[in-house]
Amino acid sequence: MIQELLESLTVNAKRNAFCIDDKYYSYEELRDLVSGIKAQIESVMGKGDSRNIAIVCTNDIRTYASLLAIWLSGCAYVPLGLHNPVDRNLAILASASAGIIISGVALDDAGYAPYKVIRPVQEIGGGAALISPARVEASDLAYILFTSGSTGAPKGVPISHGNISAFIEAFSSSPFKITREDRCLQMFELTFDVSISSYLPALLSGACVYTVPNDGIKYMHVLRILNQYALTSIQIVPSIIKLAKPLLKRLNFDTVRNCILTGEATSIDLVGLWMPCVPHAVIYNYYGPTESTIYCSFLQYRPESAKTYNGMLAIGKAFDGMELLIVKEDGGRAGLLEKGELWIGGPQVTGGYINNEQKNKDSFIVIREGDMTKRFYRSGDMCYSDEQGDIYYCGRYDNQVKIQGFRVELSEIEFLVRDKFGVNNVVVVEQNAQGATRLILVMENVKAADVQPVLDYLKRKLPEYMIPSDSRIVNEFPLNSSGKTDRKKIRELLYESV
């Protein structure tokens, strides 16, 4: 992948690589920035320094150049959310053992003082030649993404060069094809792994990537860019369609030829509303947890024979080289139309979480088949397969939800409240409001005045998408037959109140 990337930067020098904030940047300009930032990295990297380099993610060409420079330096990148609370970023830095931060914005908090901070080069041009890329092995890390964790701390998922190269190969052989003539959408925050599938295959193909600003109303930016630049290849979360519902009858993006819906369960109703807006597009549903390197399965939507479960589009068949098993609670393989947990195997599966031995034991399973051993990731997703081998997503076994495409462990939010305030009976539930998922903090038998300090504390600890947008106080939590808090009943009570 590294060598292909370097070749693309050279072969496509005069073509547009990015359009950011309505300004174009050529592959040659991108290459010059990569060269300069790579030299900066090498000038501050000590012999014993960690090869994991953090980067504060902003929507500008230097951020994308920095990502490529990190790879060409033989290092791994660790994305930090621009608007993340400082405490969370510091926890990520410590967990990833990163000693260098690349940031185009000032890092004024004293917590960043121990780190070497690189301000990426500002000058574009000059025709700087790339130094030969550092040699990397398949086992070397390419990036580390941090997702919500149930213990109150973000959970590090390291992805190797072997993992990402396997993904690129499998993605390229899937029906979603990108050519050098394509105009591709990149609407995701760089802390979310789908951002990689939105820019990396495009750059490897010589296409142009159109990014979405961080400020303002995201779905409006997406619609504007789709229209203004006549994009041809897009990956979006279904939430964008939900939020744009009042406008859909007036929209027509007839240049779009390929559309991936991803990041969360896809409602068949939304697909029906979206199809007239992209009349010439083939629509796909792509699925995959971060642990399986972005995507591991896909389904091409066919309106005449749509495959759904509870109104949600099926997730289809495995990528080339990947293996999907559906396993029952007793450990046996599920039969046709029989539900079980989806296990994911193959070269895209991560080697395991960072500094989390117990979670690794729980989440990764090695099974023996004859003389062979295979390693699988337990996804926690309830699924079943049909006679054609297509897999259907039926829900989660745990308290994990998707917010704006981000994976959120509700128990992480609850842990922080219990740990800080000593409140034992606290539950966070998701609720669909006006077409978008939001979180509600529910506390038992507390004073109304005690709720705001809790929300203020969470704002200092969690990224914005994890902050409950509302709160409720109940006199007593309902219990299920096992004597545990009945989350389903709490959710029903909240719906009734609305």
Give per-residue pLDDT as tens, 53-72: 999 999 999 999 999 999 99
Question: Is residue 488 a part of any domain in this protein?
Answer: yes
Question: Is residue 393 a part of any domain in this protein?
Answer: no
| pLDDT higher than threshold 50 for residue 230 | yes
Amino acid in the structure at residue 195:
S
Q: Average pLDDT, stretch 228-247?
A: 94
CATH of the domain at 29: 3.40.50.980
pLDDT of residue 482: 55
pLDDT of residue 126: 61
| pLDDT higher than threshold 60 for residue 434 | no
- The number of domains in the chain is 2
Question: Is residue 69 a part of any domain in this protein?
Answer: yes
Question: Is residue 131 a part of any domain in this protein?
Answer: yes
Q: What is the pTM of this model?
A: 0.87
Of 204-213, 298-307, 435-444, the one with minimum mean pLDDT is: 435-444
Percentage of residues of the chain with pLDDT beyond 70 = 95
**Nearest of 443, 439, 491, 487 to residue 465 by alpha carbon:** 439
| pLDDT higher than threshold 70 for residue 150 | no
pLDDT of residue 450: 83
**Nearest of 439, 412, 429 to residue 477 by alpha carbon:** 429
Which domain, by its residues, includes 454? 403-497
Task: Tell me the two tokens of residue 120.
Answer: 């990426």
| End position of a domain, from candidates 90, 112, 136 | 136
Q: How far apart are CA 471 and CA 440, in angstroms?
A: 5
Q: pLDDT per residue over 102-141, tens digit each?
A: 999 999 999 999 999 999 987 777 655 666 788 999 999 9
Question: Is residue 12 a part of any domain in this protein?
Answer: no
pLDDT of residue 498: 46
What interhelical angle do 27-44 and 2-11 show, nearest 10?
130
Q: 439 pairs with which residues across the strands? A: 430
CATH of the domain at 493: 3.30.300.30
Average pLDDT of the chain? 91
Could you tell me the pLDDT band of residue 484, with boundaries at 50, 70 and 90?
Answer: low
Higher-pLDDT residue of 74 and 432 is: 74
| End position of a domain, from candidates 116, 136, 156 | 136
Task: Tell me the two tokens of residue 463.
Answer: 């990224």
Q: Average pLDDT, stretch 373-392?
A: 96
| pLDDT higher than threshold 70 for residue 205 | yes
Percentage of residues of the chain with pLDDT beyond 90 = 67
| End position of a domain, from candidates 136, 158, 189 | 136
| pLDDT higher than threshold 80 for residue 466 | yes
Higher-pLDDT residue of 421 and 318 is: 318
Q: Average pLDDT, stretch 427-447?
A: 79
